[in-house]
Amino acid sequence: MTDMPKYRAPALDKGLDILELLARHSKPLNLTEIANGVGYSKGEIFRMLQRLEERKYIVRGEGDTGYLLTNRLFMLGMERPQNKGLVEIALPIMRRLSEEILHPCHLVVISEDQIVVIARVDAPSDLGFVVRVGHRRPVTHSTSGLVLFAFQSAEVRSQWLLRLDVRDNSYRRKVFIERADEVRKQGYASCPSEAIDWIIDLSAPILQHNHAIGALTIPFIDRHRKKATMTHAIERLRIAVEEISQKLP
């Protein structure tokens, strides 16, 4: 039985329902799709969409195909002391890492059943795969997500799995846990990217009080250069996450 809320704020609930719906979709949703998704009539949500657009929480897709979530909520989240402090500590070390391995790298944290990129450093060389800040992927379909899950306590893992069981019916629970156990034993992950065929994602945890609060990830491309070998990249990656972890309060 679901507990009834102590206080009701229908307009706020309506706006939050719309934002949460758009957050789960990468493609624009039109007025009808949003109305169906949140369970309100088109008339009930029309003004709310206008206000959210005016406040820059949503934007119209190209060709007025529907509405998309902007990065405004993400930027508000980035102002949280935990995220802001992590980025400030990590960025100088990420820049050094990128110079050492001639590859880009990005910093990832958890956001419910997704990972979100909160910082990135581009490759100093002429070739590299860039992941934009604010990019999201399901935890179960990303190397960074696998690392974040792997380095949690048994209790936190159980909580995550309950959430994933409800929201992601495409993942194989047993396989995901087995892969996470292997990653934890190894100390890092090295997996083919699910997004790009020729990229190997190298990822390692940033630890605070023995659990991962972030993952530092390198989208690795084998360019057959001595300084940019995968072995060298993994070695420098593990040194970088250790240094970031030690600097956290």
Q: What is the dihedral sign for C-alpha 145, 146, 152, 153?
A: positive
The mean of the pLDDT values for the chain is: 87
Give the burial string for 101-118 (b: 16+ CB within 10 Å, else e). Answer: bbbbbbbbbbeebbbbbb
Q: Tell me the percentage of the chain whose pLDDT exceeds 70.
A: 90
Whether the per-residue pLDDT at 157 is higher than 50: the answer is yes
> CA 22, CA 9: separation in Å to the nearest integer?
20
Cβ pair 221, 128 in contact under 8 A: yes
pLDDT at 3 (0 to 100): 57
End-to-end, the C-alpha distance of the chain in Å comes to: 41
97 touches 236 (CB < 8 A): yes
Nearest to 90, CA basis, from 171, 3, 208: 208
pLDDT for the residue numbered 74: 65
**Ramachandran angles phi, psi of 65, nearest 5°:** -85, -5
The predicted pLDDT at position 224 comes to: 63
8 A C-beta contact, residue 74 and residue 57:
no
Q: How confident is the model at residue 136 (pLDDT cuts 50, 70, 90)?
A: confident
pTM: 0.73
Q: Angle at the Cα of 36 (from 32 to 38), degrees rounded to 5?
A: 120
CA distance 152 to 140: 15
pLDDT (0 to 100) of residue 1: 41
Q: For 172-194, what is the mean pLDDT?
A: 95
pLDDT value for 90: 96
Among 40-44, 65-69, 123-127, 228-232, name the one with the lowest average pLDDT. Answer: 123-127
Asked whether the predicted pLDDT for residue 202 surpasses 60, the reply is: yes
Residue 246 confidence (pLDDT): 95
Query: Contact, 216 vs 206, CB < 8 A?
Result: yes
- pLDDT greater than 90 at residue 92: yes
